[in-house]
Amino acid sequence: MLGADVGEGIAQGIQGSAKYLRDLGVPDWKITPRPFEYGTLNVNPLPLSFGRVRGNSSLVNSEVSALQRVAANNRVDTGSAARMMRIDELTTANYNRILSSDLANSDYVYRLVKSSDLKYYEAANAISGRGGSPTYFSLDTASSIGKHIFGAQMKPGGYDTLLRIPTTEIVSPLVPRAFGYANPGSRPTFGREYFTNSYPEYGYGGFRQFEATTRSYSSNWIVR
């Protein structure tokens, strides 16, 4: 069991980590435990709920207290770097479990592209990024391409074709880091962004996103 002095050290480290993330442009969050369900801890090691913090010190204190309990319950190392790595490991695993569950309950996922890109998918018989790397997909869509761009927070650039892809064709889906338009080396190395939030200048966000490739490609996936 962690002593009071160790708990205080964790609180100070969390507050310092929060400032570090704010300096990177990552918004503050209220993090609170979800109701405990007996027997589910090993399946979902970090059952947390997330909400934006909006200038309320009591919410910040609540976040610190919640993370103290998470650190204690999961035996997180009290050293700052080791603790953050462990918390990131737990949150990453939790987000990817949520993604897996959502995919299992969805028949299709979506990707908005430029019609000029379709020839590359046809040639490769797959959807991927440059050099076969993972690329972005969404579990959500909207009634028009313009609204989809806003929900996915996509940078405007001639997107005119929406693909509806069977979830059975998705390979190795993972929840991405934040700030997907940034160069990979300059993206945050802590935290995941399941719901689009990093680029409010491109839209209201809120779509569930993930990175993956597909095992095939079909022109029948074009819906508009």
> Residue 64 and residue 75: Cα distance in Å, rounded?
16
Task: Label residue 82 by pLDDT band (50, 70, 90).
Answer: confident
pLDDT digits (tens, 9 = 90+) for 90-123: 999 999 999 999 999 999 999 999 999 999 999 9
- Pairing relationship of beta strands 108-113 and 170-174 according to DSSP bridges: unpaired
Q: Which residue has the higher pLDDT, 68 or 218?
A: 218
Q: CB neighbours of 145 closer than 8 A, spacing ≥ 6?
A: 112, 159, 160, 162, 224
Residue 207 vs residues 87, 101, 110, 142, 151: alpha-carbon distances, Å? 24, 16, 11, 10, 5
pLDDT digits (tens, 9 = 90+) for 23-68: 544 444 444 445 544 444 444 444 444 444 444 455 445 555 655 5
Summary mean pLDDT of the chain: 78
Write the single-letter amino acid at 30: K
Q: Global pTM?
A: 0.66
